[in-house]
């Protein structure tokens, strides 16, 4: 099949750890043909299908010049068997507009993963609030007063922007309330910006676990991202150490409760962030950690993903009852 990958510029890929690269490598290994473009190269002209200025590529297996361009041009997204939306956050206005172009491509017959509407309906911080039974006490607000009340109740809290990624803009405020006012001013922008506030989970010392839900099912291993030194953030981008480990019974229970619901909404791949026994974020834009898990455990997460993609693209079987009608 022909697969178009919508992602950041290929030249920026760190192939030794990039999950999108791992997907592409597995797709090519199975004989599927690859093309790539950036969201900025999507185009929709009235009376015409959504197109992209794209490059058909082949992976070389080399560490540096890891792909070669076979040919390039503008093509309609509906002419591909699958379109993978793998643009990294932030989920800004341009990302939002890209999902609208991708949704139009769906109306024209394209199969897009994750589905554009599902991406819009599940912002990565706010999506958690639907599953409050699995989350720590959490507040989303623009009100500095509400944040102060939340701190007074829970004493030790984490504050973060709704559009952050890789641990950006995350603050911890302990029982003494040190710098709470200044932090709120920084994140809240005078009441113009919403802030997520959560009770601090001391289990972060054992790692912020990334669980992969693929086709509604959990991969059997997660990556615990463990804060280093005095850092409160476990994110790999913030210097956390990634340690792969089997899912706990609680992890499995969370995955079984949440995974099928999200898959039914068109989210083929989801990354759950779990601290202790609580889900802290639901990542849907470009979940990662495929290669770290595979390198440390041998579990082939890219193969599990491509298996799920191939299943999603198979025609629905026609029942005998349908034929009779």
Q: Active-site positions? A: 125, 160, 210, 225, 233, 273, 281, 283
| Residue 12: Cβ-neighbour burial (10 angstroms; 0-12, 13-18, 19+) | exposed
List all residues 6 or more positions away from 197 whose beta carbon is below 8 Å from its beta carbon.
138, 139, 140, 141, 147, 150, 151, 157, 158, 159
Contact between 6 and 52 (Cβ < 8 Å): yes
Q: How far apart are CA 36 and CA 57, in angstroms?
A: 7
Contact between 280 and 126 (Cβ < 8 Å): no
> Is the four-CA dihedral 121, 125, 130, 131 of positive or negative sign?
positive
Strand 82-85 and strand 112-113: pairing? parallel
List all residues 6 or more positions away from 116 whose beta carbon is below 8 Å from its beta carbon.
85, 99, 100, 102, 103, 106
Element (H, E) at 280: strand 278-283
Beta bridge partners of 260: none
The Cα diameter of the chain in Å comes to 72
């Amino acid at each position: 099949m022909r697969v178009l990958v919508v992602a950041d510029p290929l030249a920026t890929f760190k192939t030794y750890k990039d999950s999108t690269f791992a997907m592409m490598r597995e797709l090519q290994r199975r004989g599927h043909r690859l093309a790539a473009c950036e969201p900025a190269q999507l185009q929709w002209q009235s009376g015409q299908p959504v197109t992209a200025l794209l490059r058909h590529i082949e992976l070389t297996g080399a560490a540096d010049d890891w792909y070669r361009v076979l040919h390039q041009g503008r093509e309609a997204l509906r002419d591909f068997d699958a379109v993978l939306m793998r643009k990294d956050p932030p989920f800004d206005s341009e990302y939002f507009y890209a999902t609208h172009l991708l949704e139009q491509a769906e109306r024209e017959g394209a199969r897009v993963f994750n589905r554009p509407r599902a991406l819009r309906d599940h912002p990565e911080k706010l999506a958690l609030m639907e599953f409050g039974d699995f989350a720590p006490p959490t507040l989303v607000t623009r009100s500095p007063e509400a944040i102060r009340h939340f701190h007074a109740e829970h004493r030790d809290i984490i504050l973060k922007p709704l559009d952050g990624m890789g641990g950006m803009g995350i603050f911890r405020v302990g029982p003494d309330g040190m710098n709470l006012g200044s932090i709120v001013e920084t994140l809240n922008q005078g009441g113009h910006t919403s802030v997520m506030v959560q009770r601090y989970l001391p289990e972060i010392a054992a790692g912020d676990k990334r669980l992969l839900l693929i086709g509604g099912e959990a991969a059997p291993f997660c990556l615990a991202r463990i804060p280093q030194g005095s850092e409160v953030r476990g994110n790999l981008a913030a210097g956390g150490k990634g340690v792969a480990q089997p899912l706990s019974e609680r992890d499995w229970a969370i995955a079984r409760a949440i995974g099928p619901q999200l898959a039914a909404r068109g989210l083929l791949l989801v990354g759950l962030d779990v601290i202790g026994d609580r889900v802290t974020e639901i990542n849907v834009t470009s979940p990662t950690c495929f290669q770290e898990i595979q390198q440390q455990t041998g579990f082939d997460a890219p193969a599990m993903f491509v298996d799920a993609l191939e299943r999603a693209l198979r025609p629905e079987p026609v029942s005998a009852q349908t034929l009779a009608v």
